[in-house]
Amino acid sequence: MLIGTTIYALINTAILALMAIGFNLTFGISGIANFAYGAVYILAAYGVWMLLTLFQLPYPVAVLAAVGVNLLLGALIYRFVLLRIRGQALSEVIATFGIGLAILELFRYLGLVGFEYHLPVFVDKSFVIAGTYVDFQRIAIVVFSAVLILGLWFFTHHTAIGLAFRGIAQDERTALTFGIDSNKMATLSMAMGAALAALAAVFIIPLGSISPGEGYDVLIKALAVCIIGGLGSTGGVIAASFIVGFAERFTDTYIGSHWTMIVSLAAILVVLTVKPSGLFGNQKELEERI
Amino acid sequence: MKKMCLLGLILAVACVGFIPAQTTQAAEPVVIGVPTSTGFLEGKEALKAVNLAVEEINARGGVTVGAEKRPFKVESIDIRDAAPGVPVPEALLGLEKIILEKKPVALVVGPFRSEALMAGMDIIAKYKVPLLGTIAMSPASEAKVKKEPEKYKYIFRTCLNAKFLVKYLAGTMAFINKQYGFNKVYIMNQDVAWARKTAEIITKVYFDKAGWTVVGHEAYPTGTSDFSSGLMKVRATGAQVILPIFDMPQSGTLVKQWNAMKVPALLAGFISPLAGPGAWKTFDAKIGGAINCNFEIGSGVYSDKVAKSKAFAKAYEKRWGGPVEAGHGISPAYESVYLLAEAIERAGSLNADAIVAALEKTDRAGAMGRIKFDQGHQVVYDMDPEKAAVAAVLQWNTDGSRTIVFPPTIADGKIKLPAGLKPVK
């Protein structure tokens, strides 16, 4: 049981990290808390489902199209909505939450609810790892999450755009003096965040089904992970995913399923009490210093 | 003469103008309110079933209220009580809103969650609007009706309740025990009132008495989407049967994980995503052997032995372009409209108390079998569709077809063990 629980805790960690990484990227660079994140995740899932079911497109093409649409949507949200209210945190939250709400409730209004809305798994096989059955999709999630995080690290440390991202994230005004266009970077960060949400949906949705309600769950989980880890910190996302991922699975196995949510929320409270900015965040400390 | 002609012409025009004015004035519609979670499959399909019944009745001229034929009109509101995290008071706001704004003569379908129904009973009693509930299942609401009948007489339930569900699940378990000797069960239920109550009652009235061992019991909060720990425990404890009791969409993940983790136990209970014919495609043809109790015949499955369940299923499919997929609340939603129409006609008025009195006298052969209410205003469910309403326990076959295996009166075959499972005796 211990080995099995550890394996599924690792998988849960990877799922949480994959869910949160896009939200974290956008916030880390532009400072925008994209509350439409859960909605764009679901939008991508429905998009892939439609392309597969109604237009019979090959899976990879449908995925690429959905990622592309999300990329564009993220950029458009920034250009036409967020650009005018940039820097007003509450307005940004209200605007993005409103967009998210509109998208999710539109799907609900259109009646896109039911078990027929699901995405196929990549490969329909299970493997035995240390005596525990694990399906290919979950293994794929773990591998993809690891590759994605490494890829993002490489991107932000070894590419011009990535370095510009970090410049804006560290000090926007100084970055401007170096000729880095903060609006352009913020647009890109919104676009990339939305595209990462699409990729997360493509990997995670095949484990269950698509429903508008999932959009709210994803947003809450992404927020929880980012707040524990420290908003904007990739290391924090990884650490928080481990904490929540392991807390959930071990509580489920050794205490009881109905305690899972309580223990996770308690973990959030404990971390925030000890480190108000999250594990790797520094906003509160900076504010206090000023 | 000219004057006479002119007068005649004026009179003729007046008559022509007057007569159509009288005949084209439509009778005022009788409003039926549908406050439920329309964003969930059961709510969406229940609303469609209500609309289907209303269209059928209106096509025949409507409902007779006294001497007048009046059409039905459906007004719905999404009260969202099925969604995780939505507080009961928010759902009750929707219930009160539709009563106050749309002035329905009665409500059908109603809340998903028994918690919302229990709290909503006072609102319904306050405004004296009859409710024919088709989804919430806790028997606690009937206890309230029995305790204070004058106050809560407006609340009726046409779907299965947790007590009757236990009869079907216990019957199925007894079949499994008798045929294959299985006697170790692992119970997994959603952490909501009706599912908790079902698990509690079946343990007390069947498993404890019939010599079964409940090797484990997990209650999952609504919205749970990982069942790996529970399934590992099933394997570790050597359970032969998993009894799932869930109505949330995420319970489909349990079926997928049961497959992926190759858990050597028979899945037999209620998981809403397993109820309809579309489940075969949803779960990539990997549910052969799984057993599901559809709460009412006509909801997600029909039987040739209950002609009206088949007629309803065919009419639904023709009207909406696809079959009923939900295993709960759909045929009761359809029948509730007919029960209401018949009660209004018997009462001869739209007075709530008169409708309630007429509803209490219901005796109708409907899509779920014979429909009669007991003292707690619950439709009686039993094993014979000629005498009571019935549920249907079905088993998925390896070719994607389904066989009704319980109750014996409508069964088309016996329970078969899926490949990989061996009988104990």
Q: pLDDT digit string (tens) for B268-277? A: 999 988 999 9
Which of B85, B221, B261 has its CB closest to that of A133? B261
pLDDT band, very low/low/confident/very high, at B12 (cuts 50, 70, 90): low
CA distances from B133 to B156, B333, B378, B397 (A): 6, 8, 9, 33
Report chain B residues whose CB lies below 8 A from the CB of A139.
Answer: none
Q: How far is B234 from chain A (nearest CA, A)?
A: 11
The residue in chain B having the minimum alpha-carbon distance to the alpha carbon of residue A119 is B282
CB–CB contact A248 B226 (8 Å): yes
pLDDT at A87: 83
Residues B245 and B188 both lie in one domain:
yes
CB–CB contact A116 B325 (8 Å): yes
- The pLDDT of residue B24 is above 50: no
pLDDT at A285: 56
Residues B131 and B201 both lie in one domain:
no
Residues B143 and B175 both lie in one domain:
no
Pick the closest to residue B133 from B301, B359, B402, B319 (CA basis): B359
CB–CB contact A126 B233 (8 Å): no
Q: How far is A174 from chain B (nearest CA, A)?
A: 43
B224 touches chain A (CB under 8 A): yes
Report chain B residues whose CB lies below 8 A from the CB of A256.
Answer: 218-219
Q: How far is B21 from chain A (nearest CA, A)?
A: 38
Q: What mean pLDDT comes out for the span B86-113? A: 93
Residues B99 and B138 both lie in one domain:
yes
Q: Which residue has the tokens 């919104």?
A: A190
CB–CB contact A213 B218 (8 Å): no
Residues B140 and B169 both lie in one domain:
no
Please report, for the domain that includes residue B50, its CATH number.
3.40.50.2300
In which region does residue B61 sit, left (phi positive, over 0), alpha (psi from -120 to 50) or beta (all else)?
left
Question: What single letter denotes the amino acid at residue B421?
Answer: L
pLDDT band, very low/low/confident/very high, at B11 (cuts 50, 70, 90): low
Read off the tokens for A209.
């089904």
A35-44, B44-53, B245-254: range with lowest mean pLDDT: B245-254
Which of A12, A114, A211 has its CB closest to that of B325? A114
pLDDT at B7: 54
- The pLDDT of residue B326 is above 60: yes
Query: Which of B45, B228, B328 has the highest number of chain A CBs within 10 A, making it the mutation to test binding with A?
Result: B228
The residue in chain B having the minimum alpha-carbon distance to the alpha carbon of residue A256 is B218
Does residue B284 sit within a domain?
yes
- The pLDDT of residue A287 is above 70: no
Q: What mean pLDDT comes out for the span A94-108? A: 93
Q: How far is A183 from chain B (nearest CA, A)?
A: 37
Read off the tokens for B364.
């109708």
Does residue B416 sit within a domain?
no
pLDDT at A283: 62
pLDDT at B20: 45
Does residue B20 sit within a domain?
no
B 2-21 near A (Cβ less than 8 A): none
Residues B253 and B215 both lie in one domain:
yes
The residue in chain A having the minimum alpha-carbon distance to the alpha carbon of residue B39 is A108
Question: To the nearest 10°, the Cα dihedral for B240, B245, B249, B255?
Answer: 10
Does residue B425 sit within a domain?
no
pLDDT at B250: 82
The residue in chain A having the minimum alpha-carbon distance to the alpha carbon of residue B77 is A109
Query: Average per-residue pLDDT in chain B?
Result: 91
Does residue B14 sit within a domain?
no
B284 touches chain A (CB under 8 A): yes
Report chain A residues whose CB lies below 8 A from the CB of B265.
Answer: none
pLDDT band, very low/low/confident/very high, at A178 (cuts 50, 70, 90): confident
pLDDT at A282: 66
Does residue B420 sit within a domain?
no
pLDDT at B2: 53
Q: How many domains does chain B have?
A: 2
pLDDT at B239: 95
Residue predicted with more confidence, B425 or B99: B99
Q: Are β-strands B155-157 and B131-133 bridged in parallel, bridged antiparallel, or unpaired?
A: parallel
Query: Which of A2, A6, A115 has the highest number of chain B CBs within 10 A, making it the mutation to test binding with B?
Result: A115
Pick the closest to residue B377 from B167, B155, B166 (CA basis): B155
The residue in chain B having the minimum alpha-carbon distance to the alpha carbon of residue A204 is B225
Angle at alpha carbon of residue B387, lines to B381 and B389, rounded to 5°: 30
Report chain A residues whose CB lies below 8 A from the CB of B236.
Answer: 1
Interchain CB contacts (distance < 8 Å): A and B: 114
Does residue B214 sit within a domain?
yes
- The pLDDT of residue B188 is above 70: yes
- The pLDDT of residue A89 is above 80: yes
In DSSP notation, A72-112 reads: HHHHHHIIIIIGGGTT-HHHHHHHHHHHHHHHHHHHHHTT-
Residues B257 and B399 both lie in one domain:
yes
Residues B180 and B251 both lie in one domain:
yes
Residues B223 and B254 both lie in one domain:
yes
pLDDT at B14: 53
- The pLDDT of residue B18 is above 90: no
Q: Are β-strands B213-220 and B155-157 bridged in parallel, bridged antiparallel, or unpaired?
A: unpaired
CB–CB contact B276 A126 (8 Å): no
Residues B169 and B150 both lie in one domain:
no
pLDDT band, very low/low/confident/very high, at A213 (cuts 50, 70, 90): confident
Query: Average per-residue pLDDT in chain A?
Result: 90
Full domain range(s) for residue B204: 163-294+391-406
Residues B168 and B155 both lie in one domain:
no
pLDDT band, very low/low/confident/very high, at A277 (cuts 50, 70, 90): confident
Does residue B125 sit within a domain?
yes
Q: What mean pLDDT comes out for the span B300-321? A: 96
User: What's the complex ipTM?
Assistant: 0.81
pLDDT at A257: 85
For residue B378, report the phi and psi dihedrals to the nearest 5 degrees: -105, 130
Residues B315 and B346 both lie in one domain:
yes
Q: What mean pLDDT comes out for the span B359-379? A: 96
